[in-house]
Amino acid sequence: MRPLDQLRSLKAKLSAVIVAAVAVTVTVVAVGHDAGFPWIPVVLTAGLLSLGMIQLLARGMTSPVKEMADAARAMAKGDYGRRVTATSRDEVGELARSFNKMASELAAVDRMRRDFLANVSHELRTPIGALQAVLENLVDGVESLDPKALDTMLSQVKRLGRLVEQLLDLSRLESGAIPFHPVDFPIKPVLEQAVRESELHSRGELKEVELSCSIRPENLMLKGDPERMHQVVANIVENAVRHSPDGGRVDVSARAESDVVTIEVLDEGPGIPENEEARVFERFYRVDAARSSSDGGTGLGLAIAKGIVDLHGGDMRVEQRSPGCRMVVTLPGATS
Ligand SMILES: Nc1ncnc2c1ncn2[C@@H]1O[C@H](COP(=O)(O)OP(=O)(O)OP(=O)(O)O)[C@@H](O)[C@H]1O
Ligand SMILES: [Mg+2]
């Protein structure tokens, strides 16, 4: 704690310092004069004592500014761990507190950037490694160029292509450069197409999942970008099918209440634990990382879907149900 930390403004602090210095000077001069000392030593002593008083009272008044300059230099070199003393209640203290807050936010952004880079590298390495292994086997003659080898290579190239596409979408969403063409479009074909695609996908995985699709009213229209909305619904339905047990049901529905459209996708899988409901919308977040990545999921789908729903001015959330998961998307702009 510094002597004048309790004063709320720099002006008040400066006034207090000046008043104290003047008071010391006047007292020393008066006392010295009354005691009959010569003028010169009295004035010199008064000057020295008031300087000492200024040093004592003004201690720490400007030191946070210097600390901030040092910390800013450290930040420029990538050290976001430095904080400045922010005990005073004046403008400098306020600046120091804002500086500390900014430093913590920058540290968090830097951590996210590092995590993102590590995740991207990891996700790229897996398919590239698999491709390299097959190609090496082919070159060494260990394996022949049969349909199985070609199929492995194709699926890894598809995985790479999908990852690059997702990263591009994320970067476009963040920079606001994503192609977004809002029009009035019927929801039914969009939902039905997503359901058909997932049906094919589940058959490819040799999994029996019963999909249903209901829209009330049938001719429900929405203002938005149909291609982007298809991307959102396709990801949610794909997730639902992927997490469904064999023989499970996935119900996709859309309904309108005044001008809000609610799209719901229900499945009978393991569901998303309550404490992870918000985290599944983070980039690269997977509840069961080991299982999801072996299934081909990168954990980007819901982050992109949420970005697109935000772009439409809507909201997306997970709701608990037992058993399974209920994914709810609400969007403004219903017309019929
Ligand atoms: N219907 C669901 N049931 C259970 N868990 C789910 C469901 N939907 C999503 N999740 C969990 O949320 C995580 C994030 O989903 P997201 O769609 O973002 O990624 P992904 O499906 O793993 O990969 P991607 O969509 O990028 O291919 C999933 O890995 C999974 O753990
Ligand atoms: Mg997904």
CATH classification at residue 187: 3.30.565.10
Q: How many other C-beta atoms lie within 10 A of the C-beta of residue 160?
A: 17
pTM of this structure = 0.79
Please report the pLDDT score of residue 83 as a whole number.
92
Which residue CA neighbors atom 1 of ligand 1 most closely? 240
Q: Are residues 187 and 330 in the same domain?
A: yes
Ligand with smallest separation from the Cα of 294 = 1
237 lines ligand 1 (CB under 6 A): no
| Cα 182–Cα 184–Cα 189 angle in degrees, nearest 5 | 105
241 lines ligand 1 (CB under 6 A): no
User: Does residue 280 line the site of ligand 1, with CB under 6 A?
Assistant: yes
Q: What does 189-229 look like in DSSP terms, one character per residue? A: HHHHHHHHHHHHHHHHTT---EEEEEEESTT-EEEE-HHHH
In a domain, 109, yes or no: no
Write out pLDDT tens, residues 57-67. 887 787 888 99
Is residue 2 one of the residues assigned to a domain?
Answer: no
Same domain, 151 and 238: no
Confidence band of 294 (pLDDT split at 50, 70, 90): low
Instruction: Return the CATH number at 134.
Output: 1.10.287.130
Average the pLDDT over 275-294 and give the result: 83
Question: Is the CB–ligand 1 distance for residue 267 below 6 Å?
Answer: yes
Residues 285 and 161 in one domain: no
What pLDDT, in 10s, does the model give residues 96-137?
999 999 999 999 999 999 999 999 999 999 999 999 999 999
**Residues 198 and 331 reside in one and the same domain:** yes
Closest-approaching ligand to the CA atom of 241:
1
Residues 197, 164: one domain? no
Question: Helices 10-34 and 39-57 sit at what angle, rounded to 10 degrees?
Answer: 150
Ligand 1 proximity of 243 Cβ (cutoff 6 Å): yes
Residues 225 and 319 both lie in one domain: yes
Which of the ligands is closest to the CA of residue 303? 1
Look at the chain and report how many structural domains it folds into: 3
Instruction: Check residue 334 and give its pLDDT.
Output: 80
* 113: in domain: no
Q: Is the pLDDT of residue 328 over 90?
A: yes
Identify whether residues 143 and 284 lie together within a single domain: no
**143 and 224, same domain (yes or no):** no
> Domain boundary residue among 71, 104, 137?
104
Mark out the alpha helices in the chain (DSSP H runs). 10-34, 39-57, 63-76, 91-140, 147-175, 187-204, 226-243, 289-294, 301-311
Tell me, what's the pLDDT at 336?
A: 67
How close is the Cα of 276 to the center of ligand 1, in Å?
A: 11
Residues 147 and 93 in one domain: no
Give me ligand 1 centre to Cα 303, in Å. Answer: 10
Shared-domain flag, residues 210 and 311: yes
Residue 283 lies in a domain: yes
Report residue 86's pLDDT band, with 50, 70 and 90 as the boundaries.
confident
- Cα 10 to ligand 2 centroid, rounded to whole Å: 55
Q: Is the CB of 268 under 6 A from ligand 1?
A: no
Instruction: Please name the residues in contact with 17: beta carbons below 8 A apart, sequence gap of 6 or more.
Output: 4, 53, 54, 57, 58
Ligand 1: which atom is nearest the Cα of residue 302?
18
Closest residue by Cα to atom 23, ligand 1, is 297
Q: Name the 3-class secondary structure at 318.
A: strand
Domain ends where: 104, 136, 155?
Answer: 104
Cα-to-centroid distance, 220 and ligand 1 (Å) = 28
Domain's final residue, options 79, 104, 129? 104
pLDDT at 221: 95
CA dist 256 and 327 (Å) reads 16
Closest by Cα among 122, 229, 241, 106 to 178: 229
Q: Of all protein residues, whose CA lies closest to atom 19 belonging to ligand 1?
A: 299
Distance 246 CA to ligand 1 centre (A): 17
Confidence of residue 292 (pLDDT cuts 50, 70, 90): low
User: Containing domain of residue 14, as a range?
Assistant: 10-104
295, pLDDT greater than 70: no
Please check whether residues 71 and 212 belong to one and the same domain: no
- Domain presence at residue 84: yes
Residue nearest to atom 25 of ligand 1 (CA): 301
Q: Say if 139 falls within a structural domain.
A: yes
Same domain, 37 and 71: yes
Taking CA atoms only, the protein residue closest to ligand 1 atom 17 is 301
In a domain, 125, yes or no: yes
Residue 133 placed within a domain: yes
